[in-house]
């Protein structure tokens, strides 16, 4: 057995040691696990999470109304109407994104349990969040990034995030795209004994619940109602999951939960050739769809990010539309923010036009911006990689070939994705684990909750695959 095989054989042991959770205790039936028990076992109530976040200046971020963007949406709307558009300005968190909410709880827990350091595998804003919180709590920090293609050429946005992690005191390991990311991360956890501050742990997702909770309570307090819709940029699923759970805990059970991703259809995220032919490092369909239909592909045995349990609608926008909205936010609202939150803002601009003037739609995050996150370096990098930069109809954009900036704000639109298709895919992925053609009633109940479908509909899908209920 070689070194790689030996380490991978011990992955569950390493994961349990690094998170302090024995995931096997939640397994029920052949497919099911008790998600709520796993979430409750972290030992921190929502009220305690709020207090922990306050200790390091996380949370209680401003809810800002985008009056100029709302007025523009009404001008280009076919009905002359559009909902009031708000953003939750998460860039005011210590490291500049909502990811501080996740990191605050994981790092606090690591400190409480006596770990000497924390580690995380991420190429996104979460690395900076973990590094920031670790510095505040006096812990060492290692961030493992997938940064370069095989030519050792890195995306400006990822390099920017690595630079920020480094400035915040973290040791940053930058890798080329490929399967070595998980192996390297496992090796780091094994050799250091550090805490796995995973994006997908129950600690991290519980931290995001405060975001949805704040949005609901602030809207209720200021306007006497909950928002009609909240839009979250969707990648690994934790953003949607935590925000939705917070909304529900605050009483906003009728608020529509919408996920939005950049459409990168046709680009394989693990492909060396495709890696630098995309201009978004997260918040795109290359993460959003795989993690939606199989959440447990993450770096913990059971992910706490379960987006299909909470999504009411899922839409995509183009790269050009997000770049356009980023500049629009700067030019007419005076707010310079990074691209991730502007994915859901681009979607909100179009969806608001489906709604009445007195309704409220909230984009639940913004993020910091920096040298590598600005529009010009990203578009320049795209051109250097053979991508055509055009102005016209973004609906004609082909990911990996061109980026089309809208020639008019009326061009911004969303493409609705079929959630039932993804729900069926999740069920099919689950039953691949079966050794026979039978599942239990516990499994049936689990699949219904996991997909937000009725038991009858789940049975109908299972029957197509000749799966029976014991």
DSSP string, 206-244: HHHHHHHHHHHHHHHHHHSS--SEEEEE-SSSHHHHHHH
- Which of the listed residues 416, 440, 459 is the one where a domain comes to its end? 416
Is 313 in the same domain as 220?
A: yes
Span 452-464, pLDDT tens digits: 999 999 999 999 9
Contact (Cβ atoms closer than 8 angstroms) between residue 19 and residue 304: no
pLDDT tens, position by position, 223-278? 999 999 999 999 999 999 999 999 999 999 999 999 999 999 988 777 888 888 88
Angle at 314 between CA 467 and CA 40, to 5 degrees: 70
Same structural domain, 268 and 301: yes
Distance CA 35, CA 296 (A): 12
Element (H, E) at 178: none
Asked, for residue 32, whether it belongs to a domain, the answer is no
Indicate if 411 and 442 belong to the same structural domain: no
25 in any annotated domain: no
Q: What CATH number is associated with residue 8?
A: 3.40.50.1100
Do 145 and 230 belong together in one domain? no
Q: Quick one: 122 and 261 in the same domain?
A: no
User: What residue ranges of the chain have pLDDT lower than 50?
Assistant: none
Query: Within the chain, how many helices (H) and strands (E) appear?
Result: 19, 17
Same-domain check for residues 124 and 168 = yes
Do 405 and 437 lie in one domain? The reply is no
Instruction: Assess whether 385 and 345 both reside in one domain.
Output: yes
Q: Are residues 189 and 284 in the same domain?
A: no
Question: Same domain for 149 and 296?
Answer: no
Residue with tokens 């000749």: 466
- Which runs of consecutive H residues, i.e. helices, occur in 371-440? 375-384, 419-431
Here the tokens at position 211 are 């975001």
* Per-residue pLDDT, 177: 86
Q: What is the pLDDT of residue 3?
A: 84
Tell me how far CA of residue 175 lies from CA of 111, 123, 158, 180, in angstroms. Answer: 28, 10, 11, 8
Residue (of 194, 40, 191, 54) closest to 116 by Cα position: 194
Q: Are 138 and 107 in contact (CB under 8 A)?
A: no
| Total structural domains within the chain | 3
CA distance 444 to 466: 14
226 and 330 belong to one structural domain: yes
Query: Are 331 and 349 within one domain?
Result: yes
Which residue, chain included where needed, has tokens 């990996």? 400
pLDDT of residue 420: 97
Domain that holds residue 230: 51-96+203-416
Residue 289 is predicted with a pLDDT of 96
At 13 the pLDDT is 86
Residue 267 lies in a domain: yes
DSSP three-state, residue 362: strand
């Amino acid at each position: 057995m070689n070194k790689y095989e030996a380490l991978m054989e011990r992955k569950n042991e390493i994961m349990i040691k690094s998170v302090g959770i024995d995931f096997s205790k939640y397994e029920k039936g052949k497919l099911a696990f008790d998600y709520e028990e796993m979430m409750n076992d972290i030992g921190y109530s929502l009220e305690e999470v709020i207090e922990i976040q306050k200790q390091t200046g996380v949370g209680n971020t401003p809810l800002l109304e985008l009056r100029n963007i709302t007025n523009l949406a009404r001008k280009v709307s076919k009905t002359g109407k559009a909902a009031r558009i708000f953003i939750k300005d998460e860039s005011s968190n210590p490291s500049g994104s909502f990811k501080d909410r996740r990191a605050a709880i994981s790092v606090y827990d690591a400190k409480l349990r006596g770990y000497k350091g924390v580690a995380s595998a991420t190429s996104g804003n979460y690395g900076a969040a973990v590094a920031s919180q670790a510095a505040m709590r006096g812990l060492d920090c290692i961030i493992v990034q997938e940064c370069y293609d095989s030519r050792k050429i890195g995306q400006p946005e990822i390099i920017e995030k690595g630079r920020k992690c480094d400035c915040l005191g973290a040791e940053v390991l930058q890798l080329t795209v490929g399967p070595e990311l998980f192996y390297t991360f496992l090796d780091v956890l094994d050799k250091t004994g550090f805490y796995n501050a995973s994006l997908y742990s129950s600690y991290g997702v519980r931290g995001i619940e405060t975001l949805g909770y704040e949005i609901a309570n602030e809207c209720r307090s200021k306007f006497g109602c909950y928002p009609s819709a909240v839009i979250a940029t969707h990648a690994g699923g934790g953003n949607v999951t935590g925000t939705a759970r917070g909304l529900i805990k605050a009483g906003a059970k009728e608020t529509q939960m919408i996920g939005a991703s950049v459409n990168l259809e046709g680009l394989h995220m693990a492909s060396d050739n495709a890696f630098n032919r995309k201009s978004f490092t997260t918040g795109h369909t290359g993460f959003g769809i795989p993690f939606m239909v199989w959440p447990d592909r993450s770096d913990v045995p059971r992910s706490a990010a379960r987006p299909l349990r909470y999504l009411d609608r899922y839409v995509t926008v183009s790269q050009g539309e997000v770049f356009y909205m980023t500049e629009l936010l700067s030019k007419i609202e005076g707010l310079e923010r990074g691209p991730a939150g502007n994915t859901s803002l681009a979607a909100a601009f179009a969806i608001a036009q489906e709604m009445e003037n007195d309704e409220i739609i909230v984009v639940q995050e913004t993020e910091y911006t920096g040298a590598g996150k600005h529009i010009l370096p990203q578009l320049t990098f795209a051109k250097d990689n053979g991508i055509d930069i055009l102005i016209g109809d973004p609906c004609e954009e082909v990911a990996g070939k061109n980026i089309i900036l809208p020639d008019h704000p009326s061009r911004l639109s969303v493409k609705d994705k079929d959630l039932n298709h993804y729900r069926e895919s999740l069920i099919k992925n689950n039953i691949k684990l079966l050794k026979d053609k039978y599942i239990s009633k516990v499994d049936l109940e689990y699949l219904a909750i996991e997909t937000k479908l009725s038991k009858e509909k789940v049975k109908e899908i299972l029957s197509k695959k000749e799966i029976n209920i014991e």
